[in-house]
Amino acid sequence: MSNRHERRRAAKVMRVEQRTMSVEEFASLPSGCAWAGCTATTAEPHKHSWSNMLIYRGRPALDFLEIDPRQMARDCVLCPEHARYLDENLLVEIGGRLRNVAGNA
């Protein structure tokens, strides 16, 4: 029978490696859809019709840099399928659709 230390060592499932990466390396990581249960990923969401979503508290801002990072609740992307579902089923109609938006808000 193994002793307590051997059992504890065997119980460790994985080791986490921590390292510093450059902004370019971070930006090149694949993006995953933020929809619960969706496993879709892409390396270039801006080229594959994915929608960016930033949810923040506070006053509306026309310039992204004016938003206080401490007020940002969520910064994520949605795959085209879930962006379409959100647009068609959950958002109030204000003219224009997420999947057809040109430029930035």
| pLDDT tens, residue by residue, 62-97 | 888 999 999 999 889 999 999 999 888 887 776 666
* Encoded tokens for 32: 């995953």
Q: What is the mean pLDDT of residues 11-29?
A: 79
* Encoded tokens for 49: 């019709």
- Cα 14 from chain centroid? 24
* Encoded tokens for 101: 């938006």
Q: Which helix (H) or strand (E) holds 53?
A: strand 51-56
Predicted local confidence at residue 26, as pLDDT = 83
Return d(Cα 94, Cα 85) in angstroms, integer: 16
Return d(Cα 2, Cα 6) in angstroms, integer: 6
Kindly report the pTM of this predicted structure: 0.62
Per-residue pLDDT at 98 exceeds 70:
no
CA-wise closest residue to 33 among 55, 49, 16:
49
Predicted local confidence at residue 95, as pLDDT = 67
| pLDDT tens, residue by residue, 31-71 | 999 999 999 999 888 888 899 989 999 998 888 899 999 99
Return d(Cα 40, Cα 1) in angstroms, integer: 45
Predicted local confidence at residue 81, as pLDDT = 94
